[in-house]
Amino acid sequence: MKKIFLGFIILFTGIVFSQKQRCGTDIVNLNRIQQNPSLIKLREQQELALQKSILSSSRKRINLTIPVVVHVIYNTDLENVSDEQVQSQIDALNRDFNNLNTDSLKTDHAFYPLVGNIGIKFELATKDPSGKITTGITRTKTSKTSWIEDDLNKDNMKFSNSGGIENWDPKRYLNIYTVRFDDAVGLLGYAYFPEDLANYPETDGVVIDFRCFGTKGTSGIEGFTPYNLGRTVTHEVGHWLGLFHIWGDKVFETDKVCGDDKVADTPPAEGDNAGNPVFPFRPNNKCGSDKNGEMYMNYMDYVHDKSMVMFSKGQITRMTSAINNFRKELLNYIPSTIKVTNIVINSPNNDTVFNKMVGNVQLSNVVLPINATNKNVTWSCTPDSIATIDQTGKITILKDGKVMVTVQATDGSLVSALKNLSFFSEVKVNQINIKTPNNDTVFKKSAKSIPLTAEVLPLNATNKALTWLCSPDSIATIDQNGTITIIKTGVVTITSQSMDGSLVNTSKVISIVSDSTTSLIEREMHLYLAIHPNPTSDLIQISTNSVLEGKVKVYDMVGKICYENQFLSQQNQFNLSALESGNYIVEIEVLGEIARAKLIKK
């Protein structure tokens, strides 16, 4: 006996969470034996009783419902996993324990005849230990940022005085704790065997890192991607129901060198397996496997979630016998019928208006409470001449119009939800007309700001939103409402572009002149014509508030023509850099009239 105990100490102190591993069940249990060596003899006796029960198999029970309470212990909001994530883990347990997982072994696989179905249903508890209605979820805010090795050895998350919360009556509930294990611990989860329930009820249950819990939300984050199918919990609940690791934890004096998981139909294994092995793996191994090798795809190995897909029939027998021997009070549980109280319809991005061209829109629903007994719903859509909907919530759009989508519970509660949706055919923008106050294109600096508008055509364009740009922005800027803010005198180009993907755009040139600049021509209809800047270094701008055709000539002070050109625009720029510095006369002929102005060339 002493020799065996020393072996436990060596194993425990040698592994001690020094490297990342899938399961810490053997470690925390060996720590318990280290603290209480008398457990060795007790467990040997318990194993003999269990094996006797397995041989008789007369007390096997199926179609059992186990109530689950999930204790969410969190320090940050990220760790406070959602109700939906909790439910996804319950769903995963029900698939895995009942061979309902879609990735189960195919009929032609060598191990297929050994696949078992336990007939157990897991559901979130509907009543707490005092009989009050509950969601089956508790939430505890803790000051602990992570749980270290000492926390695990003492099960601190299961006591309120050490940052956790007490478990519910472990004889009547499966207690699952979600926590953040410290990175140095390198652990995904651990559990206690049913044999310990009588002596250690206060620590009974399963503890899981929140990053490998369930199939939604935080499952798989921060490097835990291989463990995002909820099967760490499946593995640990296997321990909670009496299973050892597939390679056989060396717990009893009678164990072989290669280990024995106490299940007859699981092939002997040399040790734990990791990653995603390929069948057959280790055929004819040193521990006595046959040509099919080791059953690495068993939930009680250490492979990645996508590679573990089964319990064996022998494991099913062992678990049901463990329930009958050590967790008998679970047999007294009567599932409660929880009616649906509310349904929420979700659409992509919460939109209610969709372009007919998308063809299909996938809706989803949330049924509350999350532990409702029957969450099945029916979908309908009226009028069905506009769109139809199938029973997955997928809408097929037929034509433009509005529909009302209804989803209704099928549990007899008659609870329903409605959502109104609209479908349209997109009409693209094909023209934009920029409009200025009084259609002017010349504004004095003292105006400070200029409100622009835009006519978007066609008038029934689906998306008339525009973007505005002003260049250069050293002279003026423009906001996305089309309002220009004047900074200094000069000429700017305003561009407006559609945002519906048509890329239609238009530009308008606007002159900002000094307050002293006067018009050379004043006619009816508010005609305006000005030359600026004046004085100038090289360029002059002839600006009008309408499209005018005309001629420009520059004379020196003795009447010699130094420059001439024509123009046909509201904004006309001419380069006088070839002229020497001095005084000149600019002559503009437009609309049958001639206007002259003095020009200073710097």
> Active-site positions?
236
Question: CB 4: neighbour CB atoms within 10 A?
Answer: 15
Element (H, E) at 506: strand 505-513
Name the helix (H) or strand (E) containing 381: strand 377-382
Cβ–Cβ contacts within 10 Å for residue 292, how many?
16
In the numeric block, the tokens 């509005």 are attached to 402
Break the chain down into helix, strand, coil percent, rounded to 5: 20, 35, 45
CA distances from 431 to 191, 310, 481, 556 (A): 69, 64, 18, 46
| 234-to-23, 55, 191, 250 alpha-carbon distances in Å | 11, 25, 11, 22
| Tokens found for residue 257 | 């060198």
DSSP lists the bridge partners of residue 507 as 495
Beta strands 353-355 and 360-362 are unpaired
Distant-in-sequence, close-in-space partners of 21: CB < 8 Å, separation ≥ 6: 15, 186, 187, 188, 302
| Cβ–Cβ < 8 Å for 240, 193 | yes
The three-class DSSP label of residue 47 is: helix
Kindly report each contact of residues 322-326 with a partner whose C-beta sits within 8 Å and lies 24 or more positions away, as own/partner.
322/50, 322/194, 322/241, 322/242, 323/61, 323/64, 323/194, 323/241, 324/53, 324/59, 324/60, 324/61, 325/46, 325/49, 325/50, 325/53, 325/194, 326/46, 326/194, 326/195, 326/197, 326/198, 326/242
Q: Measured between alpha carbons, how far is 269 from 293 in angstroms, rounded to an integer?
A: 8
Burial string for 208-239 (b: 16+ CB within 10 Å, else e) reads bbbbbbbbbbbbbeeebebbbbbbbbbbbbbb
Peptide bond into 268 cis (omega under 30): no
- Amino acid found at 299: Y
Q: Tokens at residue 255, please?
A: 């164990």
The torsion angle over the Cα atoms of residues 233, 235, 239 and 245, rounded to 10 degrees, is -160
285 close to 293: Cβ distance less than 8 angstroms: yes
Are the C-beta atoms of residues 159 and 53 closer than 8 Å to each other?
no
The whole-angstrom separation of Cα 207 and Cα 178 is 6
Vertex 336: Cα angle to 334 and 339 (nearest 5): 165
* Length reported for the chain: 602
Q: Which two tokens stand for residue 354?
A: 């969709």
Which DSSP string do the residues of 259-328 spell out, in sequence order? ---S-TTSPP-SS---S---SSBSTT-TT---TTB--TTBTTS-S-GGG--B-BHHHHHHHHHHHHHH-G
